[in-house]
Amino acid sequence: MTQHFRLTAVVAGLAAFAAWPAAAQKAGGDIVITMVQAPPSLDAHVSSAQVARNVNLHIFETLYARDETAKPVPDLATGVEVSADGLTYVFTLRQGVKFHNGKALTSEDVVASLERFRKVGASATLLAAVDTIAADGPGKVVVKLKSVQSTFLGNLSSPRSPIAIMPAEEAAKPGGQARPIGTGPFKFVDYKPDSHVKLEKFADYVPNPAYKERDGFAGAKIVHVNSVTFRFVPEAGARTAALESGESHFNETADGPTAKRLAGNAAFQIVKVLPFALQVVKFNHAQAPGANADFRRAVALALDPDEIMAIAYPDIYKLDHAWVYPGSPFHRDRGAWKRDATAAKAALAKSGYKGEKLTFIVDSFRPNVDVATVMQQQLQAIGVAIDIKVADWPTVSKIGFTDEGWNFWTHGFGIEPFEGPASVISPWVKGTSQRKADPRIDAMFDRINSEMKPEEQQKIFDSFQDLMRDEAVALNLGDYGLFQIASAKLKNFKPYRIPRMWGVWLE
Amino acid sequence: MLGFALRRAAASIPVLLLVSLITFGLLWLVPGDPASVFLDASATPEAIERIRRELGLDKPFPARMADWYWRLLHGDLGRSLLLDRGVTEAILERLPVTLSLAALAFALATALGVAAGALAAIRHGRAADRSLMTLALLGLSIPEFWLGLVLIWTLAVGSGLFPAGGYVPFTESPWRWARHVTLPAFTLACVQMGFIARMTRSAMLETLGQDYVRTARAKGLPESRVLTRHALGNALVPIVTVMGIMVGALLGNAVVTEQVFAIPGVGRLIIGAVLSRDFPVIQGGLLFLALVYLAVNLVVDILYAAVDPRVRLE
């Protein structure tokens, strides 16, 4: 049944994708997308939430953006000149770019936007290496770094909380108060909390002439539809109902059984966004027994990730234990998971663990609860007793970033493996995620940030992954994906980190 | 009557004060804050702290509480941390949605519930009585979220008679408004309908056995007049009380219905605020709901006194 479902979905998807380019593009229409929740803010700088990206990256653009393979490429810039010492970056701006308020983009807007992000950006550390930002005439921006940073263009193009370019007068406003005025292919129309955000095609948008078609968050963003409405529908059944009744064209997150049920229906396309995130299991190193590497190794040796992922993400997971996604230039095969119950028991005995009950915190996202539940069963076999505590995300994330109240915590790492090695290492620097600093990790982060040669960066990243595996600093159980379902009327859709509504049309 | 109403209104003030205190206390105990909604799982502690500072969450609890009461005294419920607007504005823009939904559900539950209950009492012990009471029990027992989903699948997805969710204001299109609120209003009304039907039946059965009903029949009044004027009229006292409770229940249950049908009402506002820890909206929203609940109870008390003058003497 599973194989049949996979085959049907893949064949249907391939057939549909193959047919689209040949089909005539049709202009007009309003695409309705259903999303789980509303963006916390339409001020692109202040939120790094996925739902905010889904909307904001249609409105705003960045100097550099990630392409289809997550490589930084020019977007609002035409390119960059880097000085020989690697400290000065001179960006040349694309000509003829307009903001949604009709104003032409100038270097003053770029300077004001970057300066604002340094102050209020949700991921302001992305620009931590920047010393000064200055305009050089209306079409050039000069950024000077304090020290060489190999990841600077990667940071600048990060979609995490996008370093969006906005008009200087909006950039002068405090965090959370800038109006959604960008240079993107869609223009903000209205936002009704608990209901929808509506965007319309920006009539004065000129697709980047350097590209022929869409390319990640960059490329030629050609808009065929009149408008896009993002509707917030938290209830999964209601999102599916909206799609099936024709009221929406795209369900941003569907569950496996629904995708399976609709896979054979010609009215829908099942889209698999795999990988979307990797499943991380964190240990609290500030508390016993998580502080002990033997204990952590015992846990790793006792687990069967295949069983865990198959239960948590049926039909949409891949056992890949690299800390970046396949397709990334830094991706290497990390081999199969080593499972050995005898070795696990021996390591557990060495760790000094006495059978005390340990707390596994997990948010109410069902697959995360499944991961915790299966782990609880598998660890029981070697004598580790776990008490699972489920709460909503704000509660769990509050506890998980403190030293007490938890021993295990599992959730997805979505954007970090997409961004690359430095982003993956970053959460472990100064012990932020594991609650106890590891000087070796901190040193690796500093080295990879200043190392300009990709082959040397690869070596550092390999050492980091070895350390994560050998000392089980945290566990990477594998990649999981998202099921998205589109109406067959939506043509030329290509899955990516966000559902991009440029390059698509309605039939 | 005015004195009675004023006394009842004054009694509501300590209740509101208590609600505000409990809401504030609970929020203080619950871990988590809105910063986590703005940021992803690997946000740095510095980023979290900065967001907390910007949202004013770094202030000590007593300072926040004093600030809240001071603003409340000036009629200001504060500003939402996430919605980019004042709490009062956020509530008021959603209020017509919830009120129209609750009003339609109230009308459906009352009209159908009273009719079914009265008919069951009149046909006491017969097939109609048994069938109607079975239906009433069914209505009482079905969980709202389940009924809502079933209605969506059968009448929206299956037959396309109604939209699967969303909301269109009455002022924009009365026809589309009616199509959008029918299924959620029926879902919301179902439990109350069963409740009212059972209540009406038992109250009617009681009054039908009273001496004044026998007297009315003995003096030759038409049966329809006996049933409506004497039996149903006197059975209204407990039913009016139930209706008061029902309004509160409808507003409370609207939370679930609005979630299932993706309706942007007050219930969904509060649920969203709880999940994202938008403290001012939770505090303001709950206080507002308490106020509505108390106002409805006040109206019920006044109506109760109007229907049964003995109440004013107590």
B177-214: pLDDT as tens digits: 999 999 999 999 999 999 999 999 999 898 888 888 88
**For residue B314, what pLDDT band results from cuts at 50, 70 and 90?**
low
- Do A326 and A471 reside in the same domain of the chain? yes
Distance of CA A499 to the CA centre of its chain: 12
- Do A389 and A461 reside in the same domain of the chain? yes
To the nearest whole percent, how much of chain B has pLDDT over 70? 96
Asked if B156's CB is within 8 angstroms of A241's CB, the reply is: yes
pLDDT beyond 60 at A260: yes
The pLDDT assigned to A17 comes to 45
Task: Give the H/E segment covering residue B202.
Answer: helix B174-208
Q: Which residues pair with A80 in a beta bridge?
A: A91
Q: Is B262 left (phi over 0), alpha (psi -120 to 50) or beta?
A: left
pLDDT beyond 60 at A244: yes
Give the span between the Cα atoms of B171 and A91, in whole angstroms: 51
pLDDT tens digits, B123-168: 988 999 999 999 999 988 999 889 999 999 899 988 889 998 889 9
Amino acid, single-letter form, for residue A438: D
State the number of CA atoms in the 13 A half-sphere of B302 facing the CB. 15
Query: Within a domain: residue A437?
Result: yes
- Do A31 and A113 reside in the same domain of the chain? yes
To the nearest whole percent, how much of chain A has pLDDT over 70? 95
> For residue A426, what are the domain limits?
275-479
Query: Within a domain: residue A435?
Result: yes
Contact A77, A94 (CB under 8 A): yes
**For residue B33, what pLDDT band results from cuts at 50, 70 and 90?**
confident
Query: Within a domain: residue A265?
Result: no
**For residue B313, what pLDDT band results from cuts at 50, 70 and 90?**
low
User: What is this structure's pTM?
Assistant: 0.83
Separation in Å, CA of A206 to nearest CA in chain B: 31
Q: Which of residues 396-415 of A touch B (CB under 8 A)?
A: 396-399, 401, 411-415
Asked if B34's CB is within 8 angstroms of A40's CB, the reply is: yes
Query: Within a domain: residue A242?
Result: no
Asked if B84's CB is within 8 angstroms of A176's CB, the reply is: yes
Query: Within a domain: residue A247?
Result: no
Query: Within a domain: residue A267?
Result: no
Give the span between the Cα atoms of A420 and A460, in whole angstroms: 13
What is the rounded average pLDDT of the residues A97-103? 97
Q: Which of A127, A245, A365, A404 to mutate to test the interface with B (most CBs of B within 10 A)?
A: A245
pLDDT beyond 70 at B311: no
pLDDT beyond 60 at A7: no
With contacts defined as CB-CB under 8 Å, which chain A residues touch B149?
A: 237-238, 241
pLDDT beyond 70 at A4: no
With contacts defined as CB-CB under 8 Å, which chain A residues touch B43?
A: 48, 122-123
Tokens encoding A76: 């609002």
- Do A72 and A197 reside in the same domain of the chain? yes
pLDDT beyond 80 at A199: yes
pLDDT beyond 50 at B108: yes
The pLDDT assigned to A16 comes to 46
> Could you tell me how many CB contacts below 8 A there are between chain A and chain B?
149
Tokens encoding A25: 């593009």
pLDDT beyond 70 at A19: no
The pLDDT assigned to B291 comes to 87
pLDDT tens digits, A273-310: 999 999 999 999 999 999 999 999 999 999 999 999 99
- Do A387 and A318 reside in the same domain of the chain? yes
**For residue A94, what pLDDT band results from cuts at 50, 70 and 90?**
very high
Q: Which of A194, A423, A498 to mutate to test the interface with B (most CBs of B within 10 A)?
A: A194
Out of A49, A195, A247, the one facing B38 most closely (by C-beta) is A49
pLDDT beyond 60 at A272: yes
Q: Is B208 left (phi over 0), alpha (psi -120 to 50) or beta?
A: alpha
**For residue B74, what pLDDT band results from cuts at 50, 70 and 90?**
confident
Distance of CA B162 to the CA centre of its chain: 23
- Mean pLDDT for chain A overall: 93
Contact A375, A312 (CB under 8 A): no
Q: Which residue has the higher pLDDT, A102 or B310?
A: A102
Task: Output the CA–CA distances (angstroms, integers) from residue A115 to A123, A163, A168, A174, A178, in the order listed.
Answer: 13, 10, 10, 12, 14
Query: Within a domain: residue A268?
Result: no
Query: Within a domain: residue A254?
Result: no
Q: Which of B33, B40, B53 to mutate to test the interface with A (most CBs of A within 10 A)?
A: B40
* SS3 of residue A86 by DSSP: coil
What is the rounded average pLDDT of the residues B72-81? 84
Domains defined along chain B, listed by start: 2-73 (no CATH), 87-307 (1.10.3720.10)
The pLDDT assigned to A6 comes to 47
pLDDT tens digits, B242-283: 887 788 888 888 888 998 898 999 988 988 888 888 888 988
The pLDDT assigned to A172 comes to 97
**Residue of chain B with shortest Cα separation from A433:** B42
**For residue A491, what pLDDT band results from cuts at 50, 70 and 90?**
very high
Angle at A229 between CA A224 and CA A232, to 5 degrees: 150
pLDDT tens digits, A333-389: 999 999 999 999 999 999 999 999 999 999 989 999 999 999 999 999 999 999 999
How far the first Cα of chain A sits from its last, in Å, is 32
- Do A123 and A6 reside in the same domain of the chain? yes
Number of domains in chain A: 2
Contact A161, A47 (CB under 8 A): yes
With contacts defined as CB-CB under 8 Å, which chain B residues touch A410?
A: none
Check which CATH number belongs to the domain holding A323 and give it.
3.10.105.10
Tokens encoding A462: 């390999």
**For residue B116, what pLDDT band results from cuts at 50, 70 and 90?**
very high
The pLDDT assigned to A109 comes to 98
Task: Output the CA–CA distances (angstroms, integers) from residue A299 to A57, A386, A396, A474, B234, in the order listed.
Answer: 40, 12, 22, 10, 71
Give the span between the Cα atoms of B200 and B126, in whole angstroms: 17
- Do A105 and A224 reside in the same domain of the chain? yes
- Do A475 and A499 reside in the same domain of the chain? no
Check which CATH number belongs to the domain holding A154 and give it.
3.40.190.10
- Do A454 and A502 reside in the same domain of the chain? no
Distance of CA A148 to the CA centre of its chain: 26
- Do A180 and A302 reside in the same domain of the chain? no
- Do A420 and A494 reside in the same domain of the chain? no
Contact A410, A312 (CB under 8 A): no
Contact B119, B132 (CB under 8 A): yes
Out of B38, B43, B149, the one facing A40 most closely (by C-beta) is B38
**Residue of chain A with shortest Cα separation from B33:** A394
Secondary structure, 3-state, B235-300: HHHHHHHHHHHHHHHHHHHHHHHHHHCCCCCHHHHHHHHHHHCCHHHHHHHHHHHHHHHHHHHHHH
Q: Which of A317-326, B169-178, B229-238 has the lowest mean pLDDT?
A: B229-238
To the nearest whole percent, how much of chain A has pLDDT over 90? 84
Contact A100, A156 (CB under 8 A): no
Out of B38, B40, B163, the one facing A46 most closely (by C-beta) is B38
The pLDDT assigned to A295 comes to 98
Q: Which of B28, B37, B180 to mutate to test the interface with A (most CBs of A within 10 A)?
A: B37
Give the span between the Cα atoms of A505 and A492, in whole angstroms: 7
- Do A416 and A347 reside in the same domain of the chain? yes
